[in-house]
Amino acid sequence: MKYLIIVLVLASLGAIGYGFSIQEEQLALSHKYIGFGTVGLFLVAMPLFLIHYSRGKKMKDYMLNEENIHKMRNWEKQKDGKK
């Protein structure tokens, strides 16, 4: 999965770069390459990356709720007290 994501990112960046390089000669085709590269990067590679690296993590730990606010305040008090 990791290598698939890397290949998709490189292919998308390559398509975007190629689209910009042929922009002088073939404007319509360059827009297609840039568009497909952008779609590949943001609608395919980024969700795959997020799914792959967030697997097994608890979303509750990253949400700002009352319990986590108290934990952060206690952590800051402990950090200031140890100085």
Q: What residue ranges do the domains of the chain occupy?
A: 2-81
pTM above 0.75, yes or no: no
Rounded CA separation 53/56 (Å): 8
Residue 28 confidence class, pLDDT cut points 50, 70, 90: very high
Helices 2-21 and 46-53: crossing angle in degrees, nearest 10, is 160
What does the mean pLDDT of the chain come to? Answer: 90
Q: Amino acid identity, residue 82?
A: K
For residue 82, is pLDDT > 80? no
Rounded CA separation 49/41 (Å): 10
